[in-house]
Every structure is written in structure tokens, then in C-alpha cells.
């Protein structure tokens, strides 16, 4: 009888354990489907976002260095512009520059045979003042004249330079020079027009 009673208790326990196990399994499945998988996707998205933000932060050092370099470049450009505007020729001072060029030619030992200022060319913030000139002298004298032109504080370009052979002018070289002098344009720049 005791053996039969034990068998009945085991069956009850087995039947009772299924009654507990099935709801627990159902709760576990519901938890996995509705909580774990969506939570895992959110965690994966958060990890990806954290990694991208960490990468952004690690690149911020390079950006700050590039920003500092750009700020230094801007400061250098502003300094250059300020220096250029301080030394830039104002149109009302052109006769003084023409006199300086003639004086440099005389000091170098060359003879200026033609000096023809051309019409001003407006280029927005600056102006070009073309000058065509011809001078004669030895190669060393012409070289000294060109070197002294380049030492002037104004911005002067030598646009073209032509030499004629010595012997055609009594042993001297005939040199034709096209110069371009750059000037500030006070009508457009933020400096007052002092030529009036």
C-alpha cells in the first residue's frame, strides 16, 4: 500500500511540476521575445553610438590642431595684408615713385631713354599701374638697376625684359622693361581716399 501511495504521489508531483514548468517556460519565452531581443538590439545600437562618439572625440585632437593651424594662417594673412597696405602706393604718390625709379636708374649708371606710364588698370581691391621704359648701359649697370627696383618697398613686378645686343648702341645694351606697380584701391578698400 505504501508502494501504491508513493506511486500516486510521484504522479501528482510530475503532473504538478508540469503545471509549474509550462508557465515558467512561457514566461521565459515571452521575456526572451519581448525583453531580451529588443534590449539586445538597443544595447548594440548604444554600443555603436558610443564607439562613433569615442572616435569623434579621439579625432577632436586632430581637428583642434587643424583649427589652430588655420587660425595661425589667417593671422599671417592679416599681417601680410596690413604690411602691404602700409607700403602700398597711393595713386597721388605716383610722381614720387616715378622720380625714385629715375633716380635708381641714374645711380646704377644707366640712361633712361624712354619712360611711359600707361593707363591705370582697376582690379577690384587693387590697381595696376603699367610702366614701359627703355634704358641703356652695361649689363652690370642694368642688373644693378633691376636689383634696386626690387628693393623698393612698393610691390613692383617686371612683366617683361628685353635686351638688344651690345654694339648697336656704342657698346651699351639697350634694355626695354615693362613694369607693373600695384597700388591700393581706396574706393573699395576700408581705408580713406586721401588723394582728394
193 vs 33, higher pLDDT: 33
Q: Are strands 111-117 and 121-122 parallel, antiparallel or unpaired?
A: unpaired
Task: For 124, list phi and psi in degrees, rounded to 5.
Answer: 90, -105
91-to-5, 47, 59, 128, 133 alpha-carbon distances in Å: 124, 66, 50, 10, 19
Residue with cell 628685353: 162
d(CA 148, CA 158): 12
d(CA 131, CA 157): 10
Most confident of 5-19, 29-43, 63-77, 176-190: 63-77
pLDDT digits (tens, 9 = 90+) for 131-186: 999 999 988 999 999 999 988 888 889 999 998 876 655 678 899 999 999 887 76
> The whole model's pTM is what?
0.56
pLDDT digits (tens, 9 = 90+) for 78-104: 898 888 777 777 777 888 989 999 999
Task: For 131, list phi and psi in degrees, rounded to 5.
Answer: -135, 130
d(CA 50, CA 44): 10
Mean pLDDT of 12-30: 73
- Residue 28: pLDDT above 90? no
pLDDT of residue 33: 77
In the chain, where does DSSP find H-type helix? 2-31, 37-87, 94-108, 139-150
What are the residues facing 117 on neighbouring strands?
Answer: 131
Q: Which of 15-19, 30-34, 146-150 has the lowest mean pLDDT?
A: 15-19
CATH C-level class of 91-184: alpha beta
User: Nearest-CA neighbor of 134 among 102, 103, 166?
Assistant: 102
Name the pLDDT band for 5 (thresholds 50, 70, 90): low
- Residue 54: pLDDT above 90? no
pLDDT of residue 164: 85
Q: In the chain, where are the structural domains located? A: 1-87, 91-184
Mean pLDDT of 31-40: 77
CB 162 within 8 Å of CB 176: yes
Three-state DSSP state, 135: strand
Q: How many CB atoms lie within 10 A of CB 88?
A: 22
20 vs 95, higher pLDDT: 95
In angstroms, what is the C-alpha Rg of the chain?
Answer: 44
Amino acid at each position: 500500500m505504501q508502494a501504491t501511495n508513493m506511486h500516486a504521489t510521484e504522479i501528482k508531483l510530475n503532473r504538478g511540476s508540469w503545471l509549474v514548468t509550462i508557465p515558467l517556460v512561457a514566461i521565459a519565452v515571452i521575456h526572451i521575445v519581448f525583453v531580451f531581443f529588443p534590449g539586445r538590439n538597443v544595447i548594440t545600437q548604444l554600443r555603436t553610438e558610443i564607439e562613433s562618439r569615442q572616435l569623434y572625440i579621439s579625432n577632436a585632437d586632430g581637428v583642434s590642431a587643424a583649427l589652430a593651424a588655420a587660425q595661425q594662417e589667417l593671422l599671417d594673412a592679416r599681417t601680410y595684408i596690413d604690411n602691404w597696405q602700409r607700403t602700398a602706393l597711393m595713386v597721388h604718390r605716383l610722381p614720387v615713385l616715378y622720380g625714385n625709379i629715375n633716380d635708381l636708374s641714374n645711380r646704377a649708371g644707366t640712361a633712361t631713354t624712354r619712360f611711359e606710364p600707361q593707363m591705370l588698370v582697376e582690379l577690384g581691391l587693387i590697381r595696376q599701374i603699367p610702366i614701359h621704359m627703355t634704358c641703356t648701359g652695361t649689363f652690370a649697370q642694368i642688373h644693378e638697376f633691376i636689383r634696386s627696383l626690387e628693393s623698393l618697398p612698393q610691390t613692383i613686378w617686371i612683366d617683361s625684359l628685353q635686351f638688344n645686343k651690345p654694339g648697336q648702341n656704342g657698346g651699351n645694351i639697350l634694355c626695354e622693361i615693362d613694369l607693373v606697380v600695384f597700388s591700393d584701391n581706396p574706393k573699395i578698400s576700408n581705408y580713406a581716399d586721401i588723394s582728394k
